[in-house]
Chains A and B, each alone.
Chain A
Amino acid sequence: DAKTTQPPSMDCAEGRAANLPCNHSTISGNEYVYWYRQIHSQGPQYIIHGLKNNETNEMASLIITEDRKSSTLILPHATLRDTAVYYCIVRGYNNAGNMLTFGGGTRLMVKP
Chain B
Amino acid sequence: GAGVSQTPSNKVTEKGKYVELRCDPISGHTALYWYRQSLGQGPEFLIYFQGTGAADDSGLPNDRFFAVRPEGSVSTLKIQRTERGDSAVYLCASSAFMTPDTQYFGPGTRLTVL
Contacts and interface: CB of A to CB of B under 8 A. Distances in A.
A6 B59 CA distance: 24
Contact of B45 (A32, A46, A49, A100): A100
B43 interface: yes
B107 interface: yes
Nearest to B45: A99
Given A43-B108, A46-B102, A46-B104, A100 B31 contact: no
Interface string A76-92: 00000000010100010
Contact of A87 (B42, B91, B100): B42
A102 B48 contact: no
Interface residues of A, number: 22
B97 interface: yes
A110 B97 CA distance: 36
A44 B100 contact: no
Interface string A35-61: 000000011111001000000000000
B107 A42 contact: yes
6 contacts: A43-B106, A46-B102, A96-B97, A97-B31, A97-B97, A100-B45
